[in-house]
Amino acid sequence: MSLKLRDLIRKVRACKTAAEERAVIAKESAMIRTAIREEQEHYRHRNVAKLLFMHMLGYPTHFGQLECLKLIASPHFPEKRIGYLGMMLLLSEEADVLMLSTNSLKNDMNSKNKFIAGLSLCTIGNLATADMSRDLAPEVDKHLKGGMPYLRKKANLAMARCLTKCPDMVEDFVDRVVTLLKDKNHGVLITVVQLMTQVLLIDSRNAEEEGEDPFETDCRKAFLRLVPMLVKMLRNLLGSGYSPEYDVGGISDPFLQVQLLTLLRLLGTQNETASEEMNDVLAQVATNTESSKNAGNAILYECVQTIMGIESEDGLRVLAVNILGRFLLNRDNNIRYVALNTLSRCIVEQQYTGDGNVPTESANTASAALQKHRQTVVDCLKDPDISIRQRALELIYYMVNQGNVESLAAELLNYLVLCPREHRRDICTRIFRVVEKFSPDDRWRVDTLITMLTIAGREASRDVQSATVIYISRSPPDIHAYATHKLVKAIRDDDGSQRGLLVVGVWCIGEYGDLLLNPYSYTPSVRNNDATTSAPVSITFMALDAVSVVEAIKTIIDRHSCPEYVKERALTSFAKLSDRFADKGDVAALDMLAKLIKKHEVSHSLELQLRSCEYAALINASKGIKTIITKPAAEEEDLFGLADNGGDSGESVSASVINAAKEALSRMPVVDLKVLRKKQEDAFGSGTMPSGNYPVEASAPASGGGDLLDLNDMFGGEAPASAPAPAQNGSSGGGGEAPKSDLDLLSDIFAATPSSAPVNAASTGGGGGFDIFSTPASQSTPAPANPIDLFGSPPAMSMPTPASQNSNPLDIFGAPPPVQSQPAAMMATPNRRQHHRRYDSKDAEYRRRSYLCFHPDEKNRCRRCTATHQEISDYLVLFLPCYPKLMACGNQEHWMVLGGKRTPILDVKLNTKWLGYDLLTLTL
């Protein structure tokens, strides 16, 4: 015989281990299965009650689902009550047996016992499926018209479930809802307002799916006519006296007030007329509701949500922000969290600035009102609760403007010291964005970024490190000296853990190391918003000798924890310092630099070894000395022709090589902000892609090793295959002499026999990134894909595309055609990743619209053909079906449509074969 429910609970509570509990439940489940199999009807309600207890403990009870359906068919109310309770808990709307209960539910809704009918309506409101909703909606509608408030409120909730499952029935119940609002029972009114809210949401979703305006539907217009009635109802609740039936904490029916405010927010969205009717009652709710109890706080919170959601007046928005400011002073963390989250959302949902990141203060009066509570928000950063701190940090980020950027940036830096390490990367990015947008001057910007790297250089992203280098390089020479002195002091005080600081510091020392040899001092200016009245203190940095500067970097790379990429940057810095200190007369420093550079000539790291050898050869070349290479053994290949000309070191190199080597080691030119911004826009697809960034010319790889003067990415690991040696100020060394190819320079330095003809390399990438050795904007140079990543990974090697040497790539992205007639390679198109960044390669409609070629046929009539695409060797290649006609038409007129402009084709020439295809050169 099975146990009673009371005895089962006692036995479970007496279990000392989980195994004992599982044994008790298993034994009782077996007895319940036996009773179900033997059809023991007098124990059925007891068994279902025990199954409910087991379900609460997390044990499987699916075998008792049919017992619940048998209980609801019983004529006795106690058994029906257990059956409906078990049905709502043990069954879900996906259960197949649920359809078997449709007839029982319909019969019970027509019962004369209101409690039985109420059980049926409650079950429909929890479990009704789409099919059950269609079948039972007429029966539920009868109770909406009934005279018992007890059943009307349950019918409203059941109808809300039916309309959710069957949205097509919404329009049939709009008129019924209007009459129910006149009910005097508060329970019925709450459920009616909930039903109206659900109908509005369902109607909006239906309108969006059908492509209609969700704010111009018939249902919404019908409900908008009820706004005065809803406002009157809310005003009556505020002015009503004490009623023990509805009073909660001294507030009259807060549940109904919250539901009314929610409905008013939905109706007032993007509707000025309805919003004007609500303004007065919302102001009354905001000013007359007590905030000492949770009931009042709930109403105030919903009132703030409504004010921010509708087209309310500016004064109401300021009032809403002040209410949330009072919430921030509450001791309850839940209320403070809600206030911080709501303030952030309210500001973000308002108008945005052009970049879409940080809203301006003029965009919303709530932003101006929030500044009064700035100190309260800042104090939340010191809260022990991490969730409060995170929400306060997000809110501070949106509060920053030109007037408070210095104080709030200081608070963000203070929080950066205390925050968990996993959050520092995101905070560094936020601080950088704030500094970038609202910085008052260059010195403050550089000072803040260096301080940030000193605190969290290990977690700062490479983008932030690269951007710091960019801002330092763009600053005036006075800031160069200040930043370099400060970075030297910072890396001396650091234990080597802040690697981002080391990267930026090593770069600045290499670039501006000669400025450290002179003392530097400055007096900070007094700002208008500075509350202190004391005189500013002058800051002075002592001059350093050249050996101390080199020792500062040597100390970094001598640590066992120093990563390899920092050593690579240190080698580059040593090479630069050799040029900076060449005229200082410090022989000890130059000897130390030469030893440090040659130290890694036999390193196990290929990159360190390559940099060491190349920089040593580069420094020798700048001095006019050829690099001495040991003659190969008899069985080794003679890569540099040493067996022929001996490689004597007494000969001097040419003047062009000396000038090119000096320019490679010279100081980086100041970055033009307009050029950098244009490159960023091109990289992110917001501007027209320049045609000069795409691969046009290609060649076989040159024998004899890598390109010695290929220093385009000094900090980025491997460099592109080969590129012309960049020259400072866009000029090449050698006066009026035509510049030699990179291979000629390399062979000249190593006394090797040059190749028979110079070979140009294919340009790689076109991301528009910033190159620390880039020439002015007229010259296209390879760069990382990220526009501000100076230290980015090497660009992806793409397969070269052969074409004539002096050709200009065809701009398939619609850029303006070149002014002068130049050959254009049809097959040379952007890399697949660059193409996908701008457009979808599967968008056939775009291709038909943009890639068109017009030509005359045999009867001199204009014909149009559509170019197609095919992916070959990681390139998107443009194919012209009219190629045979273009070759055969002679001097007849042809043209193409590029970027919506008609561009004549002046000449068609078969250039070469590539992968079995004819490569054309079109002169446009």
Angle at 170 (CA atoms; ends 230, 150), nearest 5 degrees: 60
For the chain, give the mean pLDDT: 75
Percentage, residues of the chain above pLDDT 70: 67
**Is residue 804 within 8 Å of 823, Cβ to Cβ?**
yes
**Is residue 3 within 8 Å of 11, Cβ to Cβ?**
yes
Angle at 440 (CA atoms; ends 437, 446), nearest 5 degrees: 80
So what's the pLDDT on residue 534?
A: 59
Nearest to 550, CA basis, from 590, 518, 587: 590
The span from the CA of 351 to the CA of 686, in Å, is 21
* Residue 609 to residues 502, 574, 597, 630, 664, Cα–Cα distance (Å): 21, 14, 10, 17, 19
Tokens 């005065």 sit on residue = 228
So what's the pLDDT on residue 908?
A: 61
The least confident of 194-203, 454-463, 622-631, 824-833 is: 824-833
pTM over 0.75: no
The tokens of 694 are what? 């795409």
Region 576-584: mean pLDDT is 89
So what's the pLDDT on residue 660?
A: 83
- Model confidence at 858: pLDDT above 90: no
**Is residue 880 within 8 Å of 826, Cβ to Cβ?**
yes
Interacting residues of 595 by C-beta distance below 8 A, sequence separation 6+: none
**Is residue 616 within 8 Å of 600, Cβ to Cβ?**
no
Longest dimension (CA), the chain: 118
pLDDT confidence band for 651 (50 / 70 / 90): low
The least confident of 5-14, 27-36, 869-878 is: 869-878
First to last CA, the chain: 97
Which of 97-101, 157-161, 803-807 has the largest mean confidence? Answer: 157-161
The span from the CA of 207 to the CA of 201, in Å, is 10
Tokens 């279990």 sit on residue = 15
pLDDT confidence band for 875 (50 / 70 / 90): very low
Tokens 């990681």 sit on residue = 874
The span from the CA of 165 to the CA of 135, in Å, is 12
pLDDT confidence band for 71 (50 / 70 / 90): very high
The tokens of 409 are what? 């940036």
For residue 650, give the H/E element and its range: none
- Model confidence at 434: pLDDT above 90: yes
pLDDT confidence band for 722 (50 / 70 / 90): very low
Angle at 343 (CA atoms; ends 342, 348), nearest 5 degrees: 100
E strand map for 178-290: 247-248, 251-252
The tokens of 42 are what? 């007098």
Nearest to 689, CA basis, from 700, 697, 679: 679
- Model confidence at 794: pLDDT above 60: no
pLDDT confidence band for 897 (50 / 70 / 90): low
So what's the pLDDT on residue 656?
A: 83
**Is residue 626 within 8 Å of 583, Cβ to Cβ?**
no
Region 452-471: mean pLDDT is 93
Q: What is the DSSP letter of 831?
A: B
Nearest to 898, CA basis, from 862, 856, 851: 851
So what's the pLDDT on residue 6?
A: 94
So what's the pLDDT on residue 751?
A: 40
Interacting residues of 644 by C-beta distance below 8 A, sequence separation 6+: 638, 753
So what's the pLDDT on residue 889?
A: 52
- Model confidence at 783: pLDDT above 70: no
Region 381-404: mean pLDDT is 91
- Model confidence at 874: pLDDT above 60: no
Region 759-776: mean pLDDT is 37
Region 27-55: mean pLDDT is 92
Q: What is the DSSP letter of 209?
A: H
Region 666-671: mean pLDDT is 64
Q: What is the DSSP letter of 715?
A: T
**Is residue 543 within 8 Å of 517, Cβ to Cβ?**
yes
Nearest to 393, CA basis, from 452, 340, 351, 455: 340
- Model confidence at 444: pLDDT above 90: yes
So what's the pLDDT on residue 496?
A: 86
Helix, strand, coil shares, percent, the chain, to 5: 55, 5, 35
The span from the CA of 362 to the CA of 359, in Å, is 8
Region 50-58: mean pLDDT is 94
**Is residue 507 within 8 Å of 569, Cβ to Cβ?**
yes
**Is residue 903 within 8 Å of 860, Cβ to Cβ?**
no
Helix segments in 269-385, DSSP class H:
272-288, 294-309, 314-328, 333-348, 365-370, 374-379
The tokens of 440 are what? 């008052």
So what's the pLDDT on residue 630?
A: 60
The predicted-structure confidence for 607-636, as pLDDT tens digits, reads as follows 999 999 988 888 888 888 877 666 555 555
Q: In terms of pLDDT, which residue wins out, 670 or 742? A: 670
* Residue 402 to residues 109, 348, 379, 527, Cα–Cα distance (Å): 66, 18, 21, 13
- Model confidence at 596: pLDDT above 70: yes
Region 850-878: mean pLDDT is 46
So what's the pLDDT on residue 788?
A: 41
Nearest to 662, CA basis, from 575, 589, 549: 575
The predicted-structure confidence for 247-267, as pLDDT tens digits, reads as follows 888 899 999 999 999 999 999
- Model confidence at 135: pLDDT above 50: yes
Q: In terms of pLDDT, which residue wins out, 695 or 665? A: 665
Percentage, residues of the chain above pLDDT 90: 46
So what's the pLDDT on residue 88?
A: 93
The predicted-structure confidence for 174-188, as pLDDT tens digits, reads as follows 877 778 888 888 999
